Amino acid sequence: MSADTSLSQTDRTRLHRLRERGRSDRAELYAVLDAGLICHLGVLIDGSPVVLPTGYGRSGDTLYLHGSSANRSLLAADSRDVCVTVTHLDGMVCARAIFHHSMNYRSAVVFGTARLVADDEERLTALRAVTEQLVPGRWEHSRPPSRKELAATAVLALPLDEASVKVRTGPAKDEPEDYQLDFWAGVIPVAMSFGLPEADAAVRPGLDVPDHISALASRGS
C-alpha cells in the first residue's frame, strides 16, 4: 500500500532547497488539487513553453483538463510531457527585512505524459469531474452534453504518478538582530472568496438560487 499513499520522488519532483516545505503524502496532493479552481498547464509548442490557465478535475488517480476541440494547446499536449500546477496563495508574509518577505501557499506540480481522451464514457467522467470541481452539485442541475457537444470538447488526462507538493505556513523568519528594528511584521491572509450569485436575466420566473449555488458563498479557499 505504500506505493499508493506516498509520492515517490523523481529527479523532477525532488526538492533541492527548503525541504521542510515538501509534502510526500498522496492525500496532501489530493487536498491541494481538490481545493483549487483553475490550474496552469505547461506544454511545449513549436519548441517554446506555453502556460495556460484552465479548469480541471480529478477522478481517482487521474487529473482531467478540458477545453474546446479547436484549442491548439490542448491538442498539442497529446502524448507529450506536460506540467500542471495548482497554486493556492494563503498569505503575504511581511518580514522586517525585504529579503525575508515570503508568501504562504500550497502548491502541487504534476508532471507526466498527457493523453487525449477518445472514449466517450471517460470523457463524460472527465467533464463531470471538471464541472464538479468548480461548482459542486452542478452536474445534476444542468443539461448533460449532447453527442455533438461532447465531440466539440477536448479532454486531456494526466496520471497522478509524479508530483511535488509544497506548503509554507506561519510567520516570517527574520535575522536575529533585526527583531529590534521598529518595522511591523506579520502575515496578511489571502483567500479566494465567492460573491453573491448574480442570476442570469433570462432565468425563468420562480427559479430561486439553488442550494448548490448558495453553498459556494461559504466555501472560500
Residues of this chain, 70-129, that bind a copy of itself according to CB under 8 A: 70-72, 81-85, 87, 89, 92, 94-99, 101, 103, 105, 107, 109, 111, 127
Q: What cell was used for 30?
A: 489530493
Query: Interface with a copy of itself includes 213 (CB under 8 A)?
Result: yes
Half-sphere exposure of 29 (CA within 13 A, CB side): 26
Query: Interface with a copy of itself includes 215 (CB under 8 A)?
Result: no
Residue 5 or 76 having the CB closest to a copy of itself = 76
Write out the H or E segment, with its range, that includes residue 2: helix 2-5
Query: Interface with a copy of itself includes 137 (CB under 8 A)?
Result: no
Query: Which residues, 6 or more positions from 123, have their beta carbon under 8 angstroms from its beta carbon?
Result: 117, 150, 153, 155
Query: Interface with a copy of itself includes 63 (CB under 8 A)?
Result: no
Contact 65, 41 (CB under 8 A): yes
Contact 58, 64 (CB under 8 A): yes
DSSP string for residues in 33-76: HHT-SEEEEEEEETTEEEEEEEEEEEETTEEEEEEETT-HHHHH
Query: Interface with a copy of itself includes 182 (CB under 8 A)?
Result: yes
Alpha-carbon distances, residue 54 vs 18, 74, 87 (angstroms): 29, 10, 13
Residue 2 or 184 having the CB closest to a copy of itself = 184
Among 3, 4, 20, 47, binds a copy of itself (CB under 8 A): 47
Query: Interface with a copy of itself includes 31 (CB under 8 A)?
Result: no
- Cα–Cα dist 108/111, whole Å: 10
Query: Interface with a copy of itself includes 22 (CB under 8 A)?
Result: no
Footprint on residues 144-163 left by a copy of itself (CB under 8 A): 144-146, 149, 152-153
Residue 61 or 81 having the CB closest to a copy of itself = 81
Among 37, 75, 76, 116, binds a copy of itself (CB under 8 A): 37
Query: Interface with a copy of itself includes 11 (CB under 8 A)?
Result: yes
From 27-35, 56-64, 115-123, 197-205, span contacting a copy of itself (CB under 8 A): 197-205
Q: Residue 116: which of 69, 150, 153, 154 has the closest Cα?
A: 154
Query: Interface with a copy of itself includes 185 (CB under 8 A)?
Result: yes
